[in-house]
């Protein structure tokens, strides 16, 4: 019988930690502040934004949303980042993607100051992940996977972990974070020969391939711990994971649900990064004297 690895208790414990750190900052009259930059009004962005606003409210994090027209030029956007990089009252910032075609993402990602880059857009932060430095900001989804595994006390040191997917936002950085935890990592992708033979042998399998319910019972064994990162259209107006949860649930040791699993944690990780950025940027500011 499989165990459901729900994201909710993980979020709860992360929130408690963040709230106490926000309180400590506010005691020093520092308000951790996020600048959210949105170009246009895509429904996906608006929905993500609503989630971030709600969570900021809950955690006591200040948020400013800058809405720019879809016609915004590279020059205008560059000046927005330059200003925000210098602004002492902005501790973390992110811009929703994808951006309109006329905006060059390769240029934009380098414009965000690494110390305020809470969504790991600047290659400097990704490089730190690959170098094994914990000083930067890792991408939120891979970090959410590590949090869920740690929170459920799943041993990673020496464990065999198979990561299905090698994108730069999920699979590759996740493999690096798992290596930092001393796991033995195998990365699978679309050219992997006989992927079920690889994943079924692993202690932990992370599914991040972007294919609805693609991984069925042949990819796992009774010993498998399954972390499903996938968010896919299920063809019936809903969403589903990369793993066929209903078919697999009873046949593995533990599995994250496709809704309420990894995806539930990522916004909290993102906002934890705002607090981390704020702590780093203001670490020399003393608590105000009472006299």
Cis peptide before 98 (omega within 30 of 0): yes
Per-residue contact track with ligand NAP, 229 to 268, x per CB under 6 A? Answer: xxxx---------x-------------------xx--x--
Instruction: Compare residues 73 and 190 and give the one whose CB is closer to ligand NAP.
Output: 190
Handedness of CA 73, 43, 45, 210 (dihedral sign): negative
What is the contact mask toward ligand NAP in residues 84 to 103, using x (rule: CB under 6 A)? Answer: --------------------
**In degrees rounded to 5, what are phi and psi of residue 111?**
-80, -25
Both structure tokens of 183:
């796991």
- Measured between alpha carbons, how far is 218 from 196 in angstroms, rounded to an integer? 6
Q: Which two tokens stand for residue 132?
A: 């094994």
Site mask for ligand NAP (CB under 6 A), range 132-151, x = bound: ---------x----------
Q: Does 169 bind ligand NAP (CB under 6 A)?
A: yes
Of positions 97, 201, 211, 251, contacts ligand NAP by CB under 6 A: 211
Known binding residue 128? Answer is no
- Give the pair of three-digit tokens for residue 254: 């533990």
Backbone angles phi, psi at 4, to 5 degrees: -90, 125
- C-alpha 198, offset from chain centre: 26
Q: Tell me the C-alpha distance between 34 and 41, whole Å.
A: 19
User: How far is CA 168 from its chain centroid?
Assistant: 12
As a whole number of angstroms, the distance between CA 67 and CA 45 comes to 11
**Number of residues engaging ligand NAP in binding (CB under 6 A):** 26
Q: Which of 210, 217, 221, 251 binds ligand NAP (CB under 6 A)?
A: 210
Contact positions with ligand NAP (CB under 6 A) in 45-74: none
Of the candidate residues 32, 136, 171, 272, the single one contacting ligand NAP (CB under 6 A): 171
The region of 70-78, 79-87, 124-132, 158-166 touching ligand NAP under the rule CB under 6 A is 158-166
Q: Which residues bind ligand NAP (CB under 6 A)?
A: 141, 164-167, 169-171, 188-192, 195, 208-211, 229-232, 242, 262-263, 266
User: Where is the binding site for NADP(+), in residues?
Assistant: 165-167, 231
């Amino acid at each position: 019988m499989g165990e459901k690895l729900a994201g909710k208790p993980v979020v709860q414990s992360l929130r408690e930690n963040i709230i106490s750190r926000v309180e400590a900052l506010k005691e020093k009259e520092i308000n951790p502040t996020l600048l959210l930059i949105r170009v246009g009004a895509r429904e996906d962005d608006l929905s993500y934004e609503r989630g971030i606003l709600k969570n900021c409210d809950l955690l006591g994090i200040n948020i400013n949303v800058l809405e720019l027209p879809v016609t915004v030029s590279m020059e205008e956007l560059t000046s927005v980042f330059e200003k925000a990089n210098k602004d002492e009252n902005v501790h973390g910032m992110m811009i929703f993607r994808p951006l309109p075609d006329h905006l060059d993402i390769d240029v934009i990602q380098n414009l965000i100051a690494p110390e305020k880059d809470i969504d790991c857009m600047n290659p400097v932060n990704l490089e730190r992940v690959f170098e094994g430095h914990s000083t930067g900001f890792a991408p939120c989804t891979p970090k959410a996977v590590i949090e869920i595994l740690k929170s459920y006390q799943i041993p990673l040191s020496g464990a065999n972990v198979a990561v299905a997917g090698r994108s730069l936002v999920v699979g590759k950085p996740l493999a690096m974070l798992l290596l930092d935890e001393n796991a033995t990592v195998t990365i699978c992708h679309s050219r992997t020969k006989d992927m079920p033979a690889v994943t079924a042998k692993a202690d932990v399998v992370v599914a991040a391939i972007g294919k609805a319910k693609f991984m069925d019972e042949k990819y796992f064994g009774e010993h498998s711990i399954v972390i499903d990162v996938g968010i896919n259209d299920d063809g019936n107006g809903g969403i589903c994971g990369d793993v066929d949860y209903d078919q697999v649930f009873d046949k593995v040791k533990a599995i994250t649900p496709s809704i309420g699993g990894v995806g539930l944690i990522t916004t909290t990780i993102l906002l934890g990064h705002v607090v981390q950025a704020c702590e780093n940027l203001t670490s020399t500011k003393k608590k105000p004297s009472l006299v």
